[in-house]
Structure 1
Amino acid sequence: MDPSPHPLSQFVLKMHSRCDLACDHCYVFEHADQSWRGRPVVISGEVLDLTARRIAEHARTHRLDTVHVVLHGGEPLLAGRKRLRQAAQGLRTALAGVSALDLRIHTNGVTLDEKFCELFAEFDIKVGISLDGDRAANDLHRRYRNGRSSHDRVLRAIGLLNSPRHRHLFAGLLCTVDLRNDPVTVYDALAELNPPRIDFLLPHATWDEPPARAAGTPSYGEWLLAVHDRWTAAGRPMGVRVLDSVLRTLRGASSLTESLGLAPVELAVIETDGALEQADSLKTAYDGAPGTGMDVRVNSLDEMAVHPGIVARQQGLDGLCGTCRACPVVRSCGGGLYAHRYRSGSGSGDFMNPSVYCADLKQLITGIRDREAQRMPMPHLPLDDARFDELASGFGGADAVELLARRELGVNRELLGAVWHESAHSATGTAAWDTLAALDAEAPESVDAVLAHPYLRPWAQRALRGDEEAGRIAMRGVAELAAAALLRAGRAGTVTVPTGSGVLRLPTLGALVVGDAAQAQVTGGADGSFTVRVGEREHTVGPKSAADPAWLARHRFELPGWAVVLEDTDPWRDAHGYPVRARLSAAAAEEWRGDLAAAWEWIRRELPAYAPGLAAGLSMVTPLREASAGADISSAARDAFGAVAIARPGTPETLACLLVHEFQHVKLGAVLDLTDLYDPGCEELFYAPWRPDPRPLEGLLQGTYAHIAVVDYWRARRWTASGAEARDAEVRFARWREQTAEAVDTLAGSGALTELGERFVTAMGETVSTRLTDPVSPDALISARRTAADHRGRTAR
């Protein structure tokens, strides 16, 4: 086992160990672990400085992009502004040039005031507030020690965060579920406060101390499903972490909370005395449960990362008990929160149990799954039978591919809407969104051109992760899209765009180097030019202006019948699993132009059945870094329709092969966005003749579909090459036609294809079978079969 399988990236920093409320459901003060009694009331400056250095050291060693820190307690505001400033300043200074810092504070809000908000604005500290619903619901638990309600003061704090000046600081509300409270009333009370996100928390409990389940109340699963239904009926106006996490994991994406899903937990807690501990939720298990025996003064975070308690929560499915591993919803549930699995008397396996909320979680997950199936029935396929069969055969003309492109544009629009609705809106972001909305009504073709950018979806998926860095990415991306659409429409106006990584990105246009500037003002002009003001500098870009060395125009090539962009500026192009090339020189771009022109001409001449669809749907080639061994490298990202990535190969003919091969993946990915061709629950692995490892069903389907084009490439290549190259092409043709046919048979016999999937695979097989009748020399056939047998013998099954 790797001694440090996952670096730590999330830290809870305890600023104060006491609280000004006496909430009777608080796991810190009311549950099994009572270590707070012996800890310093306020964290010291020494511990803060050491903590910042330890985190920066760990981030530098593991090259973490972002570090997430929550200032916590007790009640962290009791530490005072001076100590909070010291914590924020120390972390910012230590991580400068190392990692981005996502800094938050979780507070009960009763002492939040304007001066605290000014401090948080200075250091970009996002604020989460605890509130259990309306006054009646909140007063069940969240009271002062004298029994007085805290509700009015919390509402005052939320009102402060909702003011235009501080809205960007508002991270959301945290609500602990109590079954005695009506779920719809609670949701409505919270939603009325317009939070950017709500986090419903199950009360901490174990098998030794199970959760309250009063007679006549719903189960926790039913309670949360009632919230889900109300939230959905309202149009899902804000993120709800637990519900979003279930929806995401049902789609195969990652959870937004450690209490669901199988993603490794990468969390450490630093207590006020400098102790390094595991997650606070463990305080509910037994006294001393979070302890590690480590201290920030003595131990590094690398040492913390290999503590058995940390490692136990990074094992995914292997870290769960047999009951959980056999459960059909385990990939969404993930066994529930680690602390909730505790049952004493199990020896080393005290946490190797299902969650005490097992039945509730299963009820919630299956309930949402079933509701989503009814709410979002499979759409009618926007392809008639002829076009579907055309694509299934391995080809697809311009009309069929253009229909796929329009559908993918619709997906991008939906994702953009999701980013907007699930992100906290800055003033800059709101202004950009308004510009984008106006342009969509007045110049929709310009907006469509920008939203069809192949790397919009990787940006949107990153923006939907829900962390603080994602929020910044979301608002920056919205502004970039609005500015690009404004310029494409040729409209006057200005869009302010936050910048990052030293570059202003204008999707479909290019990028401008802006250095360390925090933002840029992009102003459109009527003559096709535009200006970008960055601080005191102004850049003018356009046909009538001199070339600005800071402007990185995209390389767009108009070839006969095909317009293609060589993308080397967009930061989201790094979605293909291989290192991308940095900005190309003019000479290197021109070499690419020559190769693409020759490859395109070869495709039009030798593979004419593939050319119309490729010209209609492949708009972008992203250069990859060449392999040191000279191997050909290419990739199509499942979520980047319209783009392929290729390391420039040695010949235009090879480039032609890589283009048609990868575009097969692009087409099939779009078809799979439209309809299910197989049962997504199929977990069997299958032999794939082109891979060293067995593949899941979608992987085999993708590879087989792509190899239809590979077969046709070698079929054509053996007649256009000469000598040894022709002989090699004949052997490859003989091998791939037989092994692709075998792969089609494997797919057909998998038992996991849908009705449309069976039709699709049948059409694939019909195309391949026509290639089996081509004459091939006996020695080429023998050589091909020997190579195929050797591969199968070396491949693990």
Structure 2
Amino acid sequence: MTHRISRSLFLELARGGGGPEAIRLLSSARRSRTLMMISLIARHAAPDVRAAYEAWKAVSATDAADLVLRHPMTGAAISGASRAPETASPSLFAGMAVATAMRAGADVQVDAPCTELFLPTVGRARGGTTYSVSGGLLQVDGRPHVPSPPIRLAMGQLEVELDSGVDVPRWQEVLAAGWDELSHHHPQVARECAAAITMLSAIPSPVHDMASATAADAFGCIYLSLPPDPRTAALALTHELQHGKLSVLIDLFPLTAADSGELYYAPWRPDPRPLAGLLHGIYAHMGVAAFWRRYRDDQAEQEHARWRTATRQAAATALASGKLTELGTTFVNEIVEVLDSWTETVSPAAQAVAEAALTHHRTQWEITNSR
């Protein structure tokens, strides 16, 4: 399937937005990528994997199949298997087949010896050998079985799976407050998050602050530790949304030349970064700077000043690299235009704190990376 994006929407994305329309396009593109990799795996897989693929294929024309295909962990699993299709497990397609059949009320039977079967959007089934579905009900080795469902959190327009065993009421409380913060102060970002994010995966909390991340192959999933407060939760969603959008956009359009191995300074990382990694940071930290721009307290002014300057410096590095494609140059120039349009002043004290943080980071980076 060919995917097209208008120049105006591409520029909207470059400027940090795009709205739900862009999210729908990116999600559709990622779905097509998943289907292409499924075909690749099926062509090279062992006979038992091929049989499981045929079971999924038999129910793949249903509307339920689309939900299963778009699940972040489907994308991640299929992408991983495509790198070595001859070693794929039949459970990969068996889980998709069973989940699709259960959601669609279709019939399917598939063999996949395993200790546990992951069913995208449905949950997890106990281990067995033969999985059969009839009328939406599952049997494992001939015995009725009800899969354990995923945890689901609902926060206004945002409804997500939470994949790990955590303190659910606490997560619900913090994330609901974070969603209120995002919806009130950043409504455009909230609309994009509601369209893009379908899953949260809990990770351990670091000693200080919190951690968050995205995986390029799991579009729609954000990995994060428990945020300490609502504003930090809203910031994490904002930051990781940008990474997710750019991961798909880079699949569609070459923004950088072939990786030459050259590394660059990024004002938010302790290590040198390849150009593609630097571009990811630029895009995400433009979102971070935009987030803090909406507030006027001391912390917000310091953070906005720091990340606006850091992102502008990194964008200049990318443009000077000579390794951006024509489209990549357009993309970064749009970012620069946005940053330069933010002419609001911050207090001298906030500016001084921001500049001190930038200087300290660069000094520590040079000490660490000159060894």
Which category of TM-score, normalised to the shorter sequence, fits these structures?
Answer: over 0.9
The residue aligned with 2:139 is: 532
2:276 equivalent to 1:676: no
Amino acid of the residue matched to residue 425 of structure 1?
P
The residue aligned with 2:125 is: 512
Q: Secondary structure at the match of 2:350?
A: helix
2:226 equivalent to 1:616: no
2:216 equivalent to 1:638: yes
Contact kept, 8 Å, 1:607 with 1:713, in 2: the verdict is yes
Higher helix proportion = 2
The residue aligned with 1:100 is: none
2: CA distance between counterparts of 1:600 and 1:520? 42
Change (3 A) 1:466 1:710: closer
Contact kept, 8 Å, 1:415 with 1:457, in 2: the verdict is no
2:19 equivalent to 1:397: yes
Aligned residue runs from structure 1 range 707-726, under 5 A: 707-716=285-294, 718-719=295-296, 726=297
TM-aligned CA deviation for residue 465 of structure 1: 4.5
Q: Which runs of 5+ in 2 are unaligned?
A: none
Q: 2:57 aligns with which of 437, 450, 453?
A: 437
2: CA distance between counterparts of 1:534 and 1:630? 48
Amino acid of the residue matched to residue 132 of structure 2?
V
The residue aligned with 1:462 is: 80
TM-aligned CA deviation for residue 435 of structure 1: 3.2
Contact kept, 8 Å, 1:484 with 1:507, in 2: the verdict is yes
Q: Secondary structure at the match of 1:597?
A: helix
The residue aligned with 1:763 is: 334
Contact kept, 8 Å, 2:42 with 2:50, in 1: the verdict is no
Amino acid of the residue matched to residue 557 of structure 1?
L
TM-aligned CA deviation for residue 684 of structure 1: 1.8
Amino acid of the residue matched to residue 505 of structure 1?
F
Q: Can you list the C-alpha shifts for 1:603-642, whole angstroms capped at 9, x where unaligned?
A: 1111123122221111111111222x14311111111111
Q: Can you list the C-alpha shifts for 1:24-48, whole angstroms capped at 9, x where unaligned?
A: xxxxxxxxxxxxxxxxxxxxxxxxx
Contact kept, 8 Å, 2:116 with 2:124, in 1: the verdict is yes
Q: 1:449 aligns with which of 61, 67, 73?
A: 67
The residue aligned with 2:183 is: 604
Q: Secondary structure at the match of 2:323?
A: coil
The residue aligned with 2:360 is: 790
The residue aligned with 1:693 is: 271
Q: Secondary structure at the match of 2:179?
A: helix
Change (3 A) 1:490 1:677: same
Identity of aligned residues (%): 33
Q: 2:311 aligns with which of 740, 746, 764?
A: 740
Aligned residue runs from structure 1 range 345-360, under 5 A: none
The residue aligned with 2:94 is: 479
TM-aligned CA deviation for residue 458 of structure 1: 2.9
Q: 1:556 aligns with which of 148, 152, 155?
A: 152
Alignment RMSD, CA only?
2.0
Change (3 A) 1:395 1:467: closer
Q: Can you list the C-alpha shifts for 1:402-435, whole angstroms capped at 9, x where unaligned?
A: 0010000000001111111111112xx4443333
Contact kept, 8 Å, 1:686 with 1:696, in 2: the verdict is yes
The residue aligned with 1:490 is: 105
Contact kept, 8 Å, 2:227 with 2:233, in 1: the verdict is yes
Q: 1:776 aligns with which of 325, 346, 356?
A: 346
Contact kept, 8 Å, 1:617 with 1:642, in 2: the verdict is yes
Contact kept, 8 Å, 1:416 with 1:460, in 2: the verdict is yes
Contact kept, 8 Å, 1:607 with 1:712, in 2: the verdict is no
Change (3 A) 1:612 1:690: same
TM-aligned CA deviation for residue 505 of structure 1: 1.2
The residue aligned with 2:300 is: 729
2: CA distance between counterparts of 1:433 and 1:694? 42
The residue aligned with 1:660 is: 238
Change (3 A) 1:563 1:740: same
TM-aligned CA deviation for residue 559 of structure 1: 2.9
Q: Secondary structure at the match of 2:124?
A: strand
Contact kept, 8 Å, 2:55 with 2:108, in 1: the verdict is no
Amino acid of the residue matched to residue 329 of structure 2?
E
Q: Secondary structure at the match of 2:346?
A: coil
TM-aligned CA deviation for residue 436 of structure 1: 2.3
Count residues with an aligned counterpart: 367
TM-aligned CA deviation for residue 464 of structure 1: 3.5
2: CA distance between counterparts of 1:392 and 1:735? 21
Contact kept, 8 Å, 1:381 with 1:675, in 2: the verdict is no
Contact kept, 8 Å, 1:480 with 1:497, in 2: the verdict is no
2: CA distance between counterparts of 1:645 and 1:687? 25
2: CA distance between counterparts of 1:414 and 1:483? 21
Amino acid of the residue matched to residue 755 of structure 1?
E
1: CA distance between counterparts of 2:227 and 2:11? 33
Q: 1:412 aligns with which of 34, 38, 42?
A: 34
Change (3 A) 1:768 1:620: same
2: CA distance between counterparts of 1:400 and 1:461? 22
Q: Secondary structure at the match of 1:448?
A: helix
Q: Secondary structure at the match of 1:482?
A: helix
TM-aligned CA deviation for residue 751 of structure 1: 0.9
Contact kept, 8 Å, 1:422 with 1:464, in 2: the verdict is no
Contact kept, 8 Å, 1:480 with 1:507, in 2: the verdict is yes
1: CA distance between counterparts of 2:8 and 2:74? 30
2: CA distance between counterparts of 1:786 and 1:466? 48
Q: Can you list the C-alpha shifts for 1:313-355, whole angstroms capped at 9, x where unaligned?
A: xxxxxxxxxxxxxxxxxxxxxxxxxxxxxxxxxxxxxxxxxxx
1: CA distance between counterparts of 2:157 and 2:83? 39
2: CA distance between counterparts of 1:777 and 1:452? 46
Amino acid of the residue matched to residue 94 of structure 2?
A
2: CA distance between counterparts of 1:733 and 1:649? 20
1: CA distance between counterparts of 2:195 and 2:131? 34
Amino acid of the residue matched to residue 555 of structure 1?
I
The residue aligned with 2:131 is: 521
Contact kept, 8 Å, 2:102 with 2:138, in 1: the verdict is no
Mean Cα deviation higher: 689-698 or 605-614: 605-614
2: CA distance between counterparts of 1:430 and 1:739? 50
Change (3 A) 1:522 1:558: farther
Q: Secondary structure at the match of 2:318?
A: helix
2: CA distance between counterparts of 1:499 and 1:659? 38
2: CA distance between counterparts of 1:784 and 1:531? 58
2: CA distance between counterparts of 1:497 and 1:596? 39
Change (3 A) 1:524 1:735: same
Contact kept, 8 Å, 1:567 with 1:620, in 2: the verdict is yes
Q: Can you list the C-alpha shifts for 1:498-528, whole angstroms capped at 9, x where unaligned?
A: 243x3221111101233xx4x2423232xxx
Change (3 A) 1:497 1:560: farther
Aligned residue runs from structure 1 range 136-155, under 5 A: none
Amino acid of the residue matched to residue 240 of structure 2?
E
TM-aligned CA deviation for residue 671 of structure 1: 0.3
Q: Which runs of 5+ in 1 are unaligned?
A: 1-378, 542-550, 569-582, 720-725
Aligned residue runs from structure 1 range 265-280, under 5 A: none
Contact kept, 8 Å, 2:267 with 2:358, in 1: the verdict is yes
2: CA distance between counterparts of 1:381 and 1:553? 34
